[in-house]
Amino acid sequence: MSTYIVREVRSRKDLKKFILFPDELYKGCDCYVPPLHDGQEHELMHSASLEYCTRKMWLVEDADGKVAGRICAIINPRYNERYGMKRVRFGWFDLINDIEVARLLTGAAESWALSQGMEEIHGPLQYTTMGRQGMLVEGFDKLAPFSCLYNYPYYVDLVSRLGFEKECDWVQYRMPAGQGVDEKMKNIAARMLDRYHIRAADFDKLKKDRSYFKKFFDAYNSAFDGHVYNFVPFTDAEIEEEIDNILQMLDRKLCCVLLDEDDEVAAFGIAMVSLSGAMRKAKGRLFPFGWYHVLKAKKDYRNIDLLLNGAAPKWQKTGISSVFHGIMAGQFQDCGAEWAIANPQIETNTAVNVWERYESELWLRRRCWVKKIGGACK
């Protein structure tokens, strides 16, 4: 007889348990970086993606009512329609090292998905590619970037035992941030600037004019559509939400948005100082003292997280990446940055080859798992 029960999250009390569970699970783990509790609540209850996504959440508890695991199941109809799939996503997946807990959590998600006509389950994923995604499979001894998931090694064993198989891997590279770019990239950048009259956007103007950010995300949608695995273009509501998010982290010392002669976004590179240490000290809360740690971290440029980079379709494969790479490399040197960690990139995307130009090392690997609902492996 099972010593656990699984139940759907229905009340604010349940939601609080759902959000706080990882704090207890990862207590004492030096590599886990807790997300902000308020941010988690917004994503789960008020995200712009919920205009079209549906989701349910479950907790597994032991006989004493102590939480042993959590999971969120998401149906993204825009993804399913775009890729001709009938899939449910699972995310916010955390649990103790117990196969029964894993089976109850994924079973609840699969049962609901079956009732909605779904045929496969995959994850960990959130609503969009901006969300935290990919189960860590290499790099368990590394401090997680704030924008990425962390999990214990036993997660991999548990989902494998339940019949999940690899769908794809994302890789992240770490490199000395002050190494600059090679002469070949400098020469390509010089020719691009001279021939096409490309210029870096004025960041003071950029931060005051939301229309520039709309252009940025239009370029982001175009750059990633058809080139990034599982990507679904953002809706207008999602773009507005992301503009609010990105405005908070833009730093002129770490970012570059290139405009062409028609004042359109041609390419972009967005980075930010690492907030991992600050978020560990904040413990999921900005108040009463978490804000101090965050503000202090924003002045420390030694460790950099590379978040986004890309080019509008007409500028892809033109060498324009050499322009913003060169500009950002100079920025990193000027601010004294020591180390940079690249954003997760699908291992089959040739764009990851860019890091071969630099002194770099494979730092983290994340995996999306998939299986047929009902237990058969894909």
Could you give all domains of the chain from N- to C-terminal order, each with its CATH number? 4-169+367-372 (3.40.630.30), 178-337 (3.40.630)
What are the start-end ranges of the H helices in the chain? 12-25, 37-46, 77-83, 99-115, 154-161, 183-196, 203-208, 210-224, 236-247, 276-282, 290-297, 321-334
Which residues, in sequence order, are bridge partners of residue 256? Answer: 269
What pTM value is reported for the model?
A: 0.92
Band of pLDDT at residue 181, cut at 50, 70 and 90:
confident
What distance in Å separates the CA atoms of residue 128 and residue 135, rounded to the nearest whole number?
16
Higher pLDDT, 200 or 357: 200
CA–CA distances in Å: residue 126 to residues 48, 209, 211, 315, 332? 12, 29, 27, 29, 31
Spatial separation of the C-alpha atoms in residues 300 and 195, rounded to whole Å? 37
Read off the pLDDT of each residue in 279-295 and give the average, rounded to a whole number. 91
Mean pLDDT estimate for the chain: 91
- Could you tell me what percent of the chain has a pLDDT over 70? 97
Contact yes or no for 267/320 (Cβ under 8 A): yes
pLDDT(141) > 90: yes
75: DSSP letter? E
**At residue 14, what are phi and psi to the nearest 5 degrees?**
-65, -45
Tell me the per-residue pLDDT of 221-261, one tens digit each, with 9 for 90 and over. Answer: 887 887 778 889 999 999 999 888 877 778 889 988 899 88
Q: Is the pLDDT of residue 350 over 70?
A: no
